[in-house]
Structure 1
Amino acid sequence: MSILAACLVVLAAAAAMEFVAWASHKYVMHGFGWAWHRDHHEPHDGFLEKNDLFALFGAAISIGMFALGSPLVMGEGAWEPGTWIGLGVLIYGVIYTLIHDGLVHQRYFRWVPKRGYAKRLVQAHKLHHATVGKEGGVSFGFVIARDPAVLKRELREQRQRGIAVLREAVDER
């Protein structure tokens, strides 16, 4: 595989992970996986959350793809794109961890962006946390952040239709 093809596979895998993150967040974490995800939406004093266990699934996907692409593991049956897909998944995981846990939830560092796309990421994720419980909600993906004004309007509409219960701070805006 050429270097260009490998780079394209890495980028495609990292980009595809935004859809995987959106779908798993919306349908797993806010569905049958809510028991693990709930503590992420509620105040707590601990550094770790049950929700952090979901990172193990992303790591398993990346490790599995690295193994599938490794001649050391698979021998002659190794599938080279697996290595590059594994790298793309790893890169997305690092970006997600730094931005979500670091920037938005400030678990690693304290910096609040005042403008630009970083501010939009923070606003979109804060609006995701505006609902009480697992029902309703907006902004289930992470790297692609929609306009906060649109997200606020969607939350108000969900409240009016009885789909979501909003925290007081969102109701006041």
Structure 2
Amino acid sequence: MTLLAGVALAALTFVGMEFVAWFMHRYVLHGPLWFVHRSHHVRHPHRFERNDLSFVFYGALSVLLMVYGGPDKDWRYWVGAGIAAYGTLYFFVHDVLIHRRLPFWKRTSNAYLRALNMAHKMHHKTTGRDGSQEFGLLWVSPRYFELARRKPAASRPGRRPATAE
């Protein structure tokens, strides 16, 4: 496989992972695996939650694909690389920016990232298995863009200025 074809496959896998993540979140994590995902919807004093096992699954899948496809740089390698890229972005956006599990990148004035944050907060508005909305990570409903563009958090009275883009 040529480098260009491999990069294209990795990019296509990255985009496809948004659909996989949405489907898995909506129908599997809020379905039969709710006992694992529930830990993500309730407040708890623990640093880690059962829901973090999702990273282990996708990380292991990515590593296995890259290891077995690596010697020949065949399709498995590039699909694994696309999954890894999506997982890396997912970690920084979801766990660092939205849930603030690490002490950096706490605020942003970027309308897209603010819209993402609002959509995710709507997802967590309910703590139960049913009644949630906005199951994806990177695709955001247009209504949240409109809200995010109205007035940046940094310019609202009583708010600290944004520190990240």
TM superposition score normalised by structure 1: 0.77
- The 2-side partners of 1:82 and 1:6 are apart by 10
- The 2-side partners of 1:69 and 1:145 are apart by 33
**Residue 138 of structure 2: which of 132, 143, 147 is its match?**
143
Who is 2:48 aligned against?
Answer: 48
Who is 1:133 aligned against?
Answer: 128
- The 2-side partners of 1:132 and 1:50 are apart by 15
Query: How far is 1:132 from its partner?
Result: 2.9
The worse-fitting range, judged by mean Cα deviation, of 131-140 and 10-19 is 131-140
Who is 2:24 aligned against?
Answer: 24
Is 1:91 aligned with 2:85?
yes
Change (3 A) 1:19 1:5: same
- The 2-side partners of 1:38 and 1:132 are apart by 8
Cα deviation code 1:1-36 (max 9, x no counterpart) = 222111101100111111111111111110111111
- What are the ranges of 5 or more consecutive residues in structure 2 without an aligned counterpart? 146-165
* 2:116–2:144 contact (8 Å) kept in structure 1: no
* 2:119–2:144 contact (8 Å) kept in structure 1: no
Query: How far is 1:113 from its partner?
Result: 2.2
Cα deviation code 1:104-163 (max 9, x no counterpart) = 00001251223410101100100110113010211111011113459xxxxxxxxxxxxx
**Root mean square deviation of aligned Cα:** 1.9
Q: How many residues align?
A: 145
Query: How far is 1:64 from its partner?
Result: 2.3
- The 2-side partners of 1:64 and 1:88 are apart by 13
Who is 1:103 aligned against?
Answer: 97
Is 1:6 aligned with 2:6?
yes
* 1:10–1:85 contact (8 Å) kept in structure 2: yes
- The 1-side partners of 2:12 and 2:25 are apart by 20
For 1:42, the aligned partner's letter is V
Query: How far is 1:60 from its partner?
Result: 2.0
Moved over 3 A (4+): none
- The 2-side partners of 1:35 and 1:64 are apart by 26
Change (3 A) 1:143 1:149: closer
Quote the sequence identity (%): 37
Change (3 A) 1:63 1:125: same
